[in-house]
A and B are shown apart, each in its own frame.
Chain A
Amino acid sequence: MSGDTIDWITVLIAVFGGAIRVGTPFLFVSLGECLTEKSGRINLGLEGNLIMGAMAGYGVAWISGSPWLGVLAAGATGVLLGFVHALLCQQPRVNDIAVGIALMILGTGLAFFLGKPLIQPSAPHLPALHLGDWSDNPALRAALEINVLFIVGVILAPAMAWFFRSTRWGLAIRTVGESDDAARAMGLHVNGVRMLATMAGGFLAGVGGAFLSLYYPGGWSEGLSSGQGLMAVALVIFARWDPVRCLYASLLFGGAGALGPSLQSVGVTWGYYLFNAAPYVLTLALMIAASSTRVRSGMPGSLAAR
């Protein structure tokens, strides 16, 4: 910061780097949610998956010494929670939103309970690629330290779009999401497809949680997640059920979330908490704007029917 003027370049670089760092867990939970919602069910419990994944990933990485085993374990807890969600939701008159809230409470409770001994020890972190070594600017170098999981996510987003568009399984999920009757007419097992989609979505959310504890912010504590899992549902609406747009939306949300801390780093502290609300206000504004056209393009039919 030079004199009274704010160093906008530094802010911009910090927001850019933050968009990637803060956006990666958003990316994984939103892809998971997108997969689940394409099959016609909303999983509001991904917040529980995220926190469980963060705890399990950290614990397993600490015990085994391998962060990648941690990521796998995080995904596995997500599969388990996804299974419970799907099992309850396929019962008559059970509401998927309520089940999501229940699993959020249970997942958070279990993670805090079992994670108590993990607050002290330090587990190995996930590796990052240093793509900014050519630059002399330390801010830019820090921003370009990109985690491998982010790159996995960037590849996964178009891959999932291709999966929905061009594979038999993708078609099955879309059909189930569009109409129960049509799916049954095609000979598809509606509950089975939804269960697989929810479990796979849970896996991705768990991996997103592992990113939180094994990379950024890193470490295990009870304040690790700030509602990224709950935001996933809003993000998917924002991205209109398109995996590639989930990637853009996650970066945008990550950037919006990084705005407050970035401004703080150059000495602007006013309104820090208001900037934290930026992603939520943005989502709300977009939902209102998107709904005014009365057309929800991309929304799975069985979600629109209620």
Chain B
Amino acid sequence: MLPFAPFLIPLVAIALSLVLFGGFVGLAGADVQAVYQSIYRGAFGTWFSWQNTLTSAAPLMLTALCTALPARLGLIVIGGEGAVVVGGLAAALTGLVLVDANPWVALAGMALAAMLTGGLLIGLVGWLRHGRNVNETISSLLFNYISIAILSFLVIGPLRDPETLNKPSTHHIGDTHMLGALGDTSIHWGFGYGLIVCLLLWVLYKRTVFGFAVDMVGGNVRAALLSGLPVGRIVFLVCMMGGAAAGLAGMVEVAAVHGRANTSLNAGYGYEGILIAFAARHHPLAIIPMAILFGGIRASSGLMQRDHDLPDATSLVLQGIIFILILASEAVFARLAKRQGSAA
């Protein structure tokens, strides 16, 4: 295979997507070159836009892990959205209980509660898959809807702060307990969490016996069972780690952005995470640049709307095109691998 194929092919796919997208907005009557410039300016052009991009990338890194980790086992979990929602809800509730505690204790409690709830949700998906043979894609999708319904019910009903009129929300966790920014930037600590979690998981996969066992289960379940690996426990744990990452994204959204739990939690971070996981070929380190790229698209969508009068769905179209070409590039990978196989 080409030496840099794992990096090169997705990059070519993204470049091709940008060309196709240019054709699309051109047909829609926009000035193509100016649109490209706006995307660049809005995403990476200035320090201000870099800060926006990295802030948007923070939850995306974490939700991508929710799909990428179970993918190593051959499972396709799409429950990131639900894990963000329940994680954010648990974080807000914990924050309200610990409202008088030391800020460090409160933040740690919120993060733990979010990771535990998100982890249990996706862990349940894994357990249902292994123990009861329930398709993990469908069950995680259903959990998304159920989680959103529970969130809507709670923030509109029993947990509602009566002062939130337009957007029903829980009570505020208190300004002193909000997650701070990195240094003197406007990037909140969620970005740091994302980086640390991606790095830790990479080490776990690459350098530990556990990572080896995961790859073994992903490679051949029967062989893993025969060699005495606790496959059920591994499936549960890996799914739980993925869910915990997405749950942490929910905590970040609550503790760093909104200060409350409300329906802004299901802003599509979970679904975009699926796309990023596939674009990064489920590699924890590759998720970091991919999340920054897609964070940039998110950050530039406002500028695209303002400068070119394009609808807000424009960035959705770009995401869709990129996702499709990335998947098509998988086929190129497969062909290359096959050629290499027959040459050897």
Q: Which residues of A does B touch, CB under 8 Å?
A: 44, 84, 88, 91-95, 97-99, 101-103, 105-113, 116, 222, 227, 230, 233-234, 237, 270-274, 276-277, 280-281, 283-284, 287-288, 291-292, 294
**Distance in Å: Cβ of A42 to nearest Cβ of chain B:** 8
Interchain CA distance A273-B147 in the complex, whole Å: 11
List the A side residues contacting B152 at CB < 8 Å: 273, 276
B139 at the interface (CB under 8 A from A): yes
Q: Which residues of B does A touch, CB under 8 Å?
A: 28, 76, 78, 128, 132-135, 137-139, 141-143, 145-146, 149-150, 152-153, 156-157, 271, 274-275, 278, 310-321, 323-324, 327-328, 330-331, 333-335, 338
Task: Identify whether the interface residues of B are mostly helix, strand, loop, or mixed.
Answer: helix
- In the bound complex, do residue B145 and residue A105 qualify as a contact, i.e. CB atoms below 8 Å apart? no
Interchain CA distance A203-B134 in the complex, whole Å: 29
- In the bound complex, do residue B156 and residue A102 qualify as a contact, i.e. CB atoms below 8 Å apart? no
- The 10 A-B pairs of least Cβ separation, nearest first, read A106-B320, A109-B316, A112-B313, A277-B149, A91-B331, A102-B323, A93-B334, A92-B334, A109-B317, A273-B153
Partner of B149, one of A110, A233, A276: A276
**Distance in Å: Cβ of A88 to nearest Cβ of chain B:** 6
- In the bound complex, do residue A110 and residue B317 qualify as a contact, i.e. CB atoms below 8 Å apart? yes
With A92-B335, A271-B153, A288-B134 given, can you name 9 additional A-B contacts, CB distance below 8 Å?
Answer: A92-B331, A93-B331, A102-B323, A103-B320, A109-B316, A112-B316, A113-B313, A113-B317, A234-B138
Q: Closest B residue to A270 by CB, please name it.
A: B157
**Distance in Å: Cβ of B315 to nearest Cβ of chain A:** 8
Given A88-B328, A280-B145, check contact A112 B311 (CB 8 Å): yes
**Distance in Å: Cβ of A235 to nearest Cβ of chain B:** 10
Given A88-B327, A234-B142, A283-B142, check contact A291 B334 (CB 8 Å): no
Interchain CA distance A233-B271 in the complex, whole Å: 17
**Distance in Å: Cβ of A154 to nearest Cβ of chain B:** 26
- In the bound complex, do residue A234 and residue B320 qualify as a contact, i.e. CB atoms below 8 Å apart? no
**Distance in Å: Cβ of A290 to nearest Cβ of chain B:** 9
Given A106-B324, A109-B316, check contact A98 B141 (CB 8 Å): no
Interchain CA distance A273-B328 in the complex, whole Å: 39
Given A94-B328, A234-B142, check contact A107 B137 (CB 8 Å): no
The contact sample of 23 A-B pairs, CB cut-off 8 A, is A97-B78, A97-B137, A98-B278, A102-B327, A105-B316, A107-B320, A110-B317, A110-B320, A112-B312, A234-B138, A237-B138, A273-B149, A273-B150, A273-B157, A277-B150, A280-B145, A280-B146, A280-B149, A281-B142, A281-B146, A283-B142, A284-B142, A287-B138
**Distance in Å: Cβ of A93 to nearest Cβ of chain B:** 4
- In the bound complex, do residue A88 and residue B324 qualify as a contact, i.e. CB atoms below 8 Å apart? yes
Task: Identify whether the interface residues of A are mostly helix, strand, loop, or mixed.
Answer: helix
List the B side residues contacting A95 at CB < 8 Å: 76, 327, 330
List the A side residues contacting B317 at CB < 8 Å: 106, 109-110, 113
List the A side residues contacting B139 at CB < 8 Å: 284, 287
- In the bound complex, do residue A44 and residue B137 qualify as a contact, i.e. CB atoms below 8 Å apart? yes
Given A98-B278, A287-B134, check contact A230 B141 (CB 8 Å): yes
Given A84-B324, A116-B311, check contact A234 B133 (CB 8 Å): no
List the A side residues contacting B323 at CB < 8 Å: 101-102, 105-106
List the B side residues contacting A281 at CB < 8 Å: 142, 146
- In the bound complex, do residue A113 and residue B334 qualify as a contact, i.e. CB atoms below 8 Å apart? no
List the B side residues contacting A294 at CB < 8 Å: 133
List the B side residues contacting A237 at CB < 8 Å: 135, 138
List the A side residues contacting B313 at CB < 8 Å: 108-113, 116, 222
Given A92-B335, A94-B330, A288-B134, check contact A105 B320 (CB 8 Å): yes
- In the bound complex, do residue A273 and residue B156 qualify as a contact, i.e. CB atoms below 8 Å apart? yes
Residue among A44, A111, A277 with max Cβ neighbours from chain B (10 Å): A277
